Amino acid sequence: MEQYQINVKRWLQSSKVNEDLKAEIRAMKETQLQDAFYKDIEFGTAGMRGIMGPGTNRFNVFTLRKANIGFAKYLLTYVKDAKSRGVVIAHDNRLDADKFQTLCADVLRDFGIKVYVFDSLRPTPELSFAVRELGTAGGIMITASHNPKEYNGYKIYDEQGAQLVPHKIAPLIDIIAKLDDEINLTYEKEEVRGELIKLDESIDDKYVNLVKSIGLNKDLDKSNYKIVFTPQHGASYMNAMRVFKELGYEIYPVLSQCDPDPYFQGTITPNPEDPRAYEEAIKLAKKEQAQFIVTTDPDGDRCGLGFLTKDGEYKLLTGNQSAVMLLDYILKVRQEKGLLSKDGVVYNTIVTSPFGNDVAKSYGVKVESFLTGFKFIGEQIHHDEVNGGPHFEFGYEESYGCLIKDFVRDKDATQAIVMYAEMALYYYRHGLDLDDVYLALEQRHGFHEDEVYSLAFEGLEGANKLEALLSNLRKSPITYLYDSEVIRSEDYGLSIAKEGEKEFNLTLPKSDVFRLFLRNGDIVAIRPSGTEPKCKFYIMAYAKDDKVQGRAKKLYDALLTTLNLK
């Protein structure tokens, strides 16, 4: 009997699994059973995330309860005064998120740990802020971020308000691995339960006021400048609308996408990376003749943009494009106002376009890149804070996330909204649209075309194929791609970089990420997703002139052919 069949049998025979769940299991096809039960759901780049439903590889009360028991034990073992300091828990609009929040609270309280909860949904960055503001031992966010409606998830935060990095996750995973299976797991309850404290609006007020304070040109004329906003049914609506209005912007919310609907019925997708997420916002923008569009993902840590071009059309920006313009704007204005630190640093990731590196360095600001996951940036900010510098100027990822001020230690779409709106308005008042701004940056620093592609590798069969792909990359390294020689390769799984016959050690934590540097300046990265059964391909094409157009797709096609994936 295979492992998935053993797991299915355990669930069907357990009195703890209700008849509705058992009926779901019995209705599954064999391939569905295999995918749902062939392994335990894992912690990835952003905690534990998966499709909701019965199964060891699914997000449900049993798998969440096991993970949360592990987190309780971890806190009591590794975090000083965890019981009295407590844990903040928040959730977004996902299906049954409030029930999952209650489950987490009950488990922690059984271990004698104090718990703080909000009265309704809140965005991820406010959860991070609350951990720091209240001085708690950690935090929990129930969310599946920008994933489809079938997903839910569990993000955990350390006492600094950042998600747990690998060296902190490792002991937690060890604790969870030693626990009984998710169905039969029991634990001894403390005689005195942890206190349950419901947070009032003071956390909202403090967070919103700090967000409002980050602006650099607060006196810009906002008249006759219209912004369309959609929270994609998620948790950003309350804070974002409050910030916009209190800062004096003329804001038009997409009302059909403002209610916290777990089924996302008003949008095709809640993912700002997908152009379909903007369809309703563009309709409203055309109706109101708005100059700017912003959208946040369901848990409010990612922000996507659209703007009215001089041709009268609405154009969307990628995460790389929007971030590099915001980076330049922030550093330029800080420099003009004498606010730019002499010891400034910008943080991004190894799959983010190198465009921003050149921009930052032109202002004398250092750049450091980490593995994918804002937790690494959050951890580094804390390290710098403790050790007296360097001074944090800006952090960003290609995946539509950035952080301007470090009172939050995760990417923050509400902060992004404030600064993106200010940036767009600033250039609008100077007679420029964002196309003009981006072109000027390219003329100064070189032309870039950055695209992210992905392929699905679903189920056990897909997982095996992906494992074979990574193995083949190590056995037969790519030495030539499309029309250029690979002059450097980096394998973060083995922590080795190679340039010709020379070999170097990589210092970042181990991860199944590969980067290829081509002689002509192009960069290609290959990385399995940490939150979905797919592999991502990051194509970063470069040219000194504007002939870079269309090159990213050609590189991607050549890569698929080389990897036998076409």
pLDDT in tens, the chain (566 residues): 899 999 999 999 999 999 999 999 999 999 999 999 999 998 766 689 999 999 999 999 999 999 999 999 999 999 999 999 999 999 999 999 999 999 999 999 999 999 999 999 999 999 999 999 999 999 999 999 999 999 999 999 999 999 999 999 999 999 999 999 999 999 999 999 999 999 999 999 999 999 999 999 999 999 999 999 999 999 999 999 999 999 999 999 999 999 999 999 999 999 999 999 999 999 999 999 999 999 999 999 999 999 999 999 999 999 999 999 999 999 999 999 999 999 999 999 999 999 999 999 999 999 999 999 999 999 999 999 999 999 999 999 999 999 999 999 999 999 999 999 999 999 999 999 999 999 999 999 999 999 999 999 988 889 899 999 999 999 999 999 999 999 999 999 999 999 998 999 999 999 999 999 999 999 999 999 877 789 999 999 999 888 899 999 999 999 999 999 98
Rounded to whole angstroms, the Cα distance separating 96 from 90 reads: 13
Backbone angles phi, psi at 464, to 5 degrees: -65, -40
Q: Which residues contact 354 (CB under 8 A, 6 or more apart)?
A: 448, 523, 540, 542
**Residue 108 and residue 84 in contact, taking contact as beta carbons nearer than 8 Å:** no
Backbone angles phi, psi at 441, to 5 degrees: -65, -40
Of the residues 128, 145, 399, 489, which is catalytic?
145
Render the burial of 493-506: b for 16+ CB within 10 Å, e for the rest.
eeeebeeeeeeeeb
Residue 299 carries which side chain, given as an amino acid letter?
Answer: D
What is the Rg, in whole angstroms, of the alpha carbon atoms belonging to the chain?
Answer: 24
Distance, CA of 366 to chain centre: 23
Asked about 202 being catalytic, the answer comes back as no
The CA-based dihedral angle spanning residues 269, 275, 277, 282, taken in that order and rounded to the nearest 10 degrees: -160
**Residue 140 and residue 74 in contact, taking contact as beta carbons nearer than 8 Å:** no
What is the dihedral sign for C-alpha 265, 269, 272, 274? Answer: negative
Residue 114 carries which side chain, given as an amino acid letter?
Answer: K
Sheet holding 344-349, edge to edge: 366-370, 344-349, 391-397, 401-403
Question: What's the angle, vertex CA 204, arms to CA 200 and CA 209, rounded to 5?
Answer: 140
DSSP assignment of 2-42, as one string? -HHHHHHHHHHH-TTS-HHHHHHHHHS-HHHHHHHHSS---
Angle between helices 434-445 and 355-362 (to 10 degrees): 80
Backbone angles phi, psi at 173, to 5 degrees: -60, -40
DSSP 221: -
Can you list the domains of the chain with their CATH numbers? 39-200 (3.40.120.10), 206-320+415-434 (3.40.120.10), 335-410 (3.40.120.10), 446-562 (3.30.310.50)
- Nearest residue to 178 via CA among 166, 187, 191, 167: 187
Q: Which residues contact 343 (CB under 8 A, 6 or more apart)?
A: 389, 390, 391
Which two three-digit tokens encode residue 339? 């606010």
